């Protein structure tokens, strides 16, 4: 199995040094593992986003191990967190058995030989999604209606720097109308829905985020819940609305910053969501 690095440059650590231990008291409550929802790859196959996330300054070392349970088909990717506190890998889900992923990080502990003593933060397993299974017929390629095309993650929104919206925090109960089509590898036309990883940064108060198509009424639903001061992401599939846009509404009494990275899109022709 081969994982795709999402963020954080890979670097080597000594092989055989993985050692899961009790989480130290220095591990902040907001530091730990994050597991996305499985998605189908264009042309067949399935993957899931797995990440180590932290509120600490960038550069924390982490390792994501993954493979097929009960076999020798295992691998890992090592790296360190980026400026947003993430180190993430797109892990392929096997059709041959239960796929397991484990997230570990370097808390500064060392073994007697000075190798890293990795600290466990979480694990999860997945079976191959039936809707992604290959059949006797060829899978639709990314030009056919209803096909999903995955993209290298591209940032469409960051209110901290003025990307995709004004450089200011989103006001209490405020909404951003985000242009999605024609950006980050998403076609200008013919797109039914997009898959975006949305992140709330520095929430002033607790609340929830709702992501929905532009030109529609906000649904009574939450895509992401947050607490004061929290930085937290979630993977969302949302239909494209009027003029190729989506809306993100801050349902709280305080300000938040928002980040949105596109991970793929569905071509028009099939109802999504």
Per-residue pLDDT of the chain (273 residues; tens, 9 = 90+): 554 444 333 322 232 333 333 333 333 334 678 888 888 876 668 888 888 888 776 677 888 888 888 887 777 777 878 777 778 888 888 888 888 988 888 877 888 888 888 888 888 999 988 888 754 444 445 667 778 888 888 899 999 999 999 999 999 999 999 999 999 999 999 999 999 989 999 999 999 999 999 999 999 889 999 999 988 888 889 999 999 999 999 999 999 999 999 988 988 874 444
Question: What does residue 136 show for φ and ψ, rounded to 5 degrees?
Answer: -65, -20
For 88, the domain range is 4-132
93 and 172 in a single domain? The answer is no
- Domain end point (choices 132, 161, 194): 132
Examine the domain organization and report whether 165 and 126 are in the same domain. Answer: no
18 and 126 together in one domain: yes
Residue among 3, 23, 200, 174 nearest 105 (CA): 23
Q: What is the pLDDT at residue 24?
A: 33
Q: What is the CATH number of the domain that holds 218?
A: 2.60.120
Q: Which pLDDT belongs to residue 134?
A: 57
Tell me what pLDDT residue 235 has. Answer: 86
Neighbours of 152 (CB within 10 A): 13
Q: On the CB side of 79, how many CA atoms lie within 13 Å of its CA?
A: 23
Give the residue from 105, 132, 159 where a domain finishes: 132
Residue 58's pLDDT is 66
State the pLDDT at residue 31: 66
- What is the reported pLDDT for 172? 97
Q: Which of 203, 185, 204, 205 is nearest to 195 (CA)?
A: 185
The pTM for the full model equals 0.54
pLDDT of residue 142: 61
């Amino acid at each position: 199995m081969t994982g795709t690095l999402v963020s954080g440059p890979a670097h080597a650590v000594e092989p055989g040094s993985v050692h899961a231990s009790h989480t130290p008291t220095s591990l902040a409550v907001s530091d730990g593992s994050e597991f996305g929802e499985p998605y189908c790859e264009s042309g067949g196959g399935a993957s899931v986003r797995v990440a180590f996330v932290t509120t600490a300054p960038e550069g924390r070392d982490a390792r994501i191990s993954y493979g097929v349970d009960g076999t020798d088909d295992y691998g890992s990717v090592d790296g360190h967190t980026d400026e947003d506190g993430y180190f993430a890998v797109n892990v392929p889900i096997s059709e041959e058995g239960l796929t397991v992923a484990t997230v570990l990080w370097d808390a500064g502990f060392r073994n007697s030989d000075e190798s890293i003593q990795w600290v466990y933060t979480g694990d999860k397993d997945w079976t191959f999604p039936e809707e992604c299974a290959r059949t006797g017929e060829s899978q639709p390629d990314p030009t056919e209606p209803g096909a999903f095309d995955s993209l290298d993650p591209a940032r469409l929104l960051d209110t901290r720097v003025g990307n995709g919206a004004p450089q200011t925090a989103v006001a209490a109960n405020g909404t951003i109308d985000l242009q999605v089509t024609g950006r980050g590898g998403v076609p200008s036309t013919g797109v039914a829905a997009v898959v975006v990883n949305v992140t709330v940064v520095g929430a002033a108060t607790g609340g929830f985020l709702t992501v929905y198509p532009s030109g529609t009424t906000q649904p009574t639903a939450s895509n992401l819940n947050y607490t004061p001061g929290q930085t937290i992401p979630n993977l969302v599939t949302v239909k494209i609305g009027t003029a190729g846009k989506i809306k993100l509404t801050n349902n709280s009494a305080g300000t938040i910053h928002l980040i949105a990275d596109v991970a793929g899109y569905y071509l028009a022709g099939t109802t999504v969501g």
